[in-house]
């Protein structure tokens, strides 16, 4: 658990926390969300959403929140839609879409999307603190797996330690900021 908190603290050094946040949830809302999911969320994801709220990194990498009023950023609405699309793609092109879906052990669970339509997933296991990240192009099935936690992945993208071939080369040429979603 300490490793995850260090990652979020490190993330805060390069991704400023917005002054106002939306869709961050409280303890009882997190319990309800985890009941609906049927699993705990990774601690660093919960801390990230509690700290940053609903929104996107650099206006490109959008992170779903269980508490978002925006259906385009709501974790439960979007993960169902992404999973439904994945099932259709898997039926048509099984070699290009080889993964199972959560709650199957090792199944994908979407937690975000890019402006390019790349889907950001956890590769799940029995222990949410061990979930890794898989980014796939929803159109082609091209995918990249990272053994990072949620917050480590975002940190490594922003500091240039990860260069995902699906992301634009100039992603870090703009100001690193968290764009708040669900704003009034």
**1 band by pLDDT with thresholds 50, 70 and 90:** very low
What is the predicted pLDDT for the residue at 8? Answer: 83
User: With 70 as the cut, is the pLDDT of residue 184 above it?
Assistant: no
Mean pLDDT over all residues of the chain? 93
* Cis check: omega of the bond before 91, within 30 degrees of 0: no
**6 band by pLDDT with thresholds 50, 70 and 90:** low
What is the predicted pLDDT for the residue at 140? Answer: 85
Instruction: Give exposure, 13-43, as e/b (b: 16+ Cβ within 10 Å).
Output: eebeebeebbbbbeeeebeebeeebebebbb
What is the predicted pLDDT for the residue at 182? Answer: 66
What is the predicted pLDDT for the residue at 7? Answer: 76
Lowest-pLDDT range of 5-9, 13-17, 50-54, 89-93: 5-9
Look at 8 and 166; give whichever has higher pLDDT.
166
User: With 80 as the cut, is the pLDDT of residue 45 above it?
Assistant: yes
Q: Which architecture, in CATH terms, is 2-180?
A: 3-Layer(aba) Sandwich (3.40)
**85 band by pLDDT with thresholds 50, 70 and 90:** very high
What is the predicted pLDDT for the residue at 82? Answer: 96
pLDDT (average), residues 21-45: 96
Q: In angstroms, how far is the first alpha carbon of the chain from the final one?
A: 34
What is the predicted pLDDT for the residue at 9? Answer: 87
User: With 90 as the cut, is the pLDDT of residue 113 above it?
Assistant: yes
Q: Is the dihedral of CA 91, 97, 98, 101 positive or negative?
A: negative
**181 band by pLDDT with thresholds 50, 70 and 90:** confident
What is the predicted pLDDT for the residue at 41? Answer: 98
pLDDT (average), residues 135-155: 92
């Amino acid at each position: 658990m300490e490793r995850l908190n260090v990652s979020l603290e490190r993330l805060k050094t390069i991704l400023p926390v917005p002054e106002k946040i939306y869709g961050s949830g409280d303890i009882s809302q997190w319990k309800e969300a985890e009941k609906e999911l049927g699993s705990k969320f990774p601690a660093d994801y919960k801390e990230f959403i509690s700290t940053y709220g609903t929104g996107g990194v650099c206006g490109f990498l959008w992170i779903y929140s269980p508490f978002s009023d925006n259906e385009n950023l709501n974790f439960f609405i979007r993960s169902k839609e992404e999973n439904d699309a994945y099932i259709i793609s898997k039926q048509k092109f099984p070699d290009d879409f080889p993964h199972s879906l959560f709650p199957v052990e090792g199944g994908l669970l979407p937690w975000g999307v890019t402006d390019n339509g790349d889907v950001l997933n956890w590769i799940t296991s029995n222990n949410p603190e061990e979930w890794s990240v898989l980014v796939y192009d929803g159109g082609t099935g091209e995918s990249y797996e990272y053994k990072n936690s949620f917050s480590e992945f975002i940190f490594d993208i922003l500091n240039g330690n990860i260069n995902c071939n699906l992301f634009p080369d100039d992603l870090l040429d703009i100001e690193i900021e968290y764009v708040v979603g669900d704003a009034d």
